[in-house]
Chains A and B, each alone.
Chain A
Amino acid sequence: MFPLPQKESRAPATCLGSATTQDVVSSYQDGLGRESPGKPDQKLPGLYGVGDPVSKFSSDSSCLSSRGRVIKWFWDSAEEGYRTYHMDEYDEVKNPDGIINLGTSENKLCFDLLSRRLSQSDMLRVEPSLLQYPDWRGHPFLREEVAKFLSYYCKSPAPLKPENVVVLNGCASLFSALATVLCEAGEAFLIPTPYYGAITQHVYLYGNVRLAYVYLDSEVTGLDSCPFQLTVEKLELALQGATSEGAKVKGLILINPQNPLGNVYSPEELQGFLGFAERHKLHVIVDEVYMLSVFEESLGYHSVLGLERLPDPQRTHVMWATSKDFGMSGLRFGTLYTENQEVATAVASLCRYHGLSGLLQSQMAQLLRDRDWINQVYLPENHSRLKAAHTYVSEELQALGVPFLRGGAGFFLWVDLRKFLRQGTFEEELLLWRRLLESKVLLSFGKAFECKEPGWFRLIFSDKTHRLRLGMQRLRQVLESKSQETEDVPPPTTPRTPVSSADEVAFAWFFRGNALLSSSG
Chain B
Amino acid sequence: MSSDRDQETSDRSQGPSPRQHDQPCGQESDAEAAGLSHSLSHRGVDISAFYNSYFQAYEAYQSSKFHLDLNNLGFFHLDVSENKLCSDLMAERLCQKDMDDVEDIQLQAPNPRGHPFLREAVAQFLTSYCSAPECLFSRNVVVLNGCSAVFSALSMVLCDPGDCFLVPTPFFSGFIFGTKMCTNVELIPIHLETEITDEDTLPFQLTVGKLEQALLEAKTQCKKVKGLLLPNPQNATGHVYSQESLKEFLEFAKRNDLHVVVDEVYMLSVFDDSVQFHSVLSLERLPDPQKTYVIWSISKDFGLGLGALYTPNEDVAFAVSPFSYLHSISGIVQYHLRCLLRDRDWIDRIYLPAVHSRLRTAHAYVITTLRELEVVHNFKIFFHSRSCGLYLWINLKNLLEPCTFEEELVLYRRFLDHKLILSRGQSYLLKEPGWFRLCFAENPDKLELAMLRFGQAIAEQKQYWIQKVVQYIPELEETDSSSSDDN
Residues of A within 8 A of B (CB): 1-4, 8-9, 62-69, 71-72, 74-76, 79, 86, 104, 106, 108, 111, 114-115, 118-119, 124-133, 135, 169-170, 172-173, 176, 180-185, 187, 201-202, 205-206, 250, 283, 314-315, 323, 327-333, 340, 342-343, 345-346, 349-350, 352-357, 359-360, 363
13 pairs from A and B in contact (CB 8 Å cutoff)? A9-B162, A71-B322, A111-B108, A114-B107, A180-B182, A181-B41, A183-B41, A314-B38, A314-B39, A330-B332, A343-B44, A346-B48, A363-B332
Q: How far is the CA of A315 from the CA of B39 in the complex (A)?
A: 7
Q: Which one, B2-10, B310-318, B369-377, B405-413, is touching chain A? A: B310-318
CB of B145 within 8 Å of the partner chain: yes
**B326 A349 Cβ-Cβ under 8 A:** no
Partner of A354, one of B37, B80, B95, B327: B327
Which residues from chain A contact B104 at a C-beta distance below 8 Å? 108, 111, 115
Q: How far is the CA of A183 from the CA of B47 in the complex (A)?
A: 12
Residue of A nearest to B45 (CB): A346
CB of B100 within 8 Å of the partner chain: yes
Whether A66 touches B80, Cβ cut-off 8 Å, given contacts A329-B108, A333-B330, is: no
**B152 A353 Cβ-Cβ under 8 A:** yes
**A346 B79 Cβ-Cβ under 8 A:** no
Which residues from chain A contact B326 at a C-beta distance below 8 Å? 172-173, 176, 202, 205-206, 353-354
CB interface residues, B 82-119, toward A, < 8 Å: 82, 84, 87-88, 90-91, 94-95, 99-112
CB interface residues, B 433-479, toward A, < 8 Å: none
Nearest CB of chain A from residue B145's CB, rounded to whole Å:
6
Partner of B159, one of A67, A131, A181: A67
Residue of A nearest to B313 (CB): A63
Partner of B332, one of A131, A169, A331, A349: A331
Partner of B328, one of A3, A71, A169, A327: A169
Q: How far is the CA of A349 from the CA of B40 in the complex (A)?
A: 13
Partner of B291, one of A63, A86, A169, A170: A63
Whether A63 touches B161, Cβ cut-off 8 Å, given contacts A132-B84, A181-B44, is: no
**A182 B44 Cβ-Cβ under 8 A:** yes
Which residues from chain B contact A66 at a C-beta distance below 8 Å? 160
Size class of the B contact interface (CB-based, 8 Å): 35 or more
Nearest CB of chain B from residue A25's CB, rounded to whole Å:
14
Whether A330 touches B105, Cβ cut-off 8 Å, given contacts A128-B91, A172-B326, is: yes
CB interface residues, B 33-51, toward A, < 8 Å: 37-45, 47-48, 50-51
Residue of B nearest to A353 (CB): B149
Partner of A181, one of B47, B102, B158, B183: B47
Which residues from chain B contact A72 at a C-beta distance below 8 Å? 157, 315, 318-319
Which residues from chain B contact A342 at a C-beta distance below 8 Å? 37, 39-40, 44, 48
Q: How far is the CA of A3 from the CA of B30 in the complex (A)?
A: 12
Partner of A131, one of B40, B87, B316, B323: B87
Which residues from chain A contact B108 at a C-beta distance below 8 Å? 106, 108, 111, 329-330
Q: How far is the CA of A1 from the CA of B27 in the complex (A)?
A: 6
Which residues from chain B contact A128 at a C-beta distance below 8 Å? 87-88, 90-91
Nearest CB of chain A from residue B72's CB, rounded to whole Å:
11
Nearest CB of chain A from residue B351's CB, rounded to whole Å:
13
Number of A-B residue pairs, CB cutoff 8 Å, is 249
Partner of A65, one of B163, B322, B336: B163
Residue of B nearest to A73 (CB): B319
Whether A357 touches B161, Cβ cut-off 8 Å, given contacts A119-B100, A330-B108, is: no
**A357 B304 Cβ-Cβ under 8 A:** yes
Q: How far is the CA of A62 from the CA of B101 in the complex (A)?
A: 42
**A357 B88 Cβ-Cβ under 8 A:** no
CB of B305 within 8 Å of the partner chain: yes
Residue of B nearest to A183 (CB): B41
Nearest CB of chain B from residue A453's CB, rounded to whole Å:
28
Nearest CB of chain A from residue B105's CB, rounded to whole Å:
7
Whether A119 touches B328, Cβ cut-off 8 Å, given contacts A2-B180, A8-B161, A182-B39, is: no
Residue of A nearest to B337 (CB): A357
Q: How far is the CA of A112 from the CA of B305 in the complex (A)?
A: 27
**A352 B303 Cβ-Cβ under 8 A:** no
Nearest CB of chain B from residue A293's CB, rounded to whole Å:
15
**B330 A184 Cβ-Cβ under 8 A:** no
Nearest CB of chain B from residue A223's CB, rounded to whole Å:
33
Which residues from chain A contact B321 at a C-beta distance below 8 Å? 75, 79
Residue of A nearest to B315 (CB): A62
Nearest CB of chain A from residue B213's CB, rounded to whole Å:
23
**A349 B47 Cβ-Cβ under 8 A:** yes
Residue of A nearest to B88 (CB): A128
Q: Which of B50, B184, B316 has the most CB of A within 10 A?
A: B184
Interface digits, B112-138 against A, CB 8 Å rule (1 contact, 0 not)? Answer: 100000000000000000000000000
**A329 B333 Cβ-Cβ under 8 A:** no
Whether A4 touches B148, Cβ cut-off 8 Å, given contacts A111-B104, A128-B91, is: no
Q: How far is the CA of A86 from the CA of B114 in the complex (A)?
A: 13
Whether A346 touches B44, Cβ cut-off 8 Å, given contacts A206-B156, A353-B146, is: yes
Nearest CB of chain B from residue A358's CB, rounded to whole Å:
9
**B156 A71 Cβ-Cβ under 8 A:** yes
Partner of A359, one of B52, B94, B157, B159: B94
CB of B203 within 8 Å of the partner chain: no
Partner of B156, one of A68, A355, A360: A68
Q: How far is the CA of A352 from the CA of B181 in the complex (A)?
A: 13
CB of B416 within 8 Å of the partner chain: no
Which residues from chain A contact B91 at a C-beta distance below 8 Å? 126-128, 130-131
Residue of A nearest to B46 (CB): A2
Which residues from chain A contact B45 at a C-beta distance below 8 Å? 346
**B330 A357 Cβ-Cβ under 8 A:** yes
Nearest CB of chain A from residue B336's CB, rounded to whole Å:
8
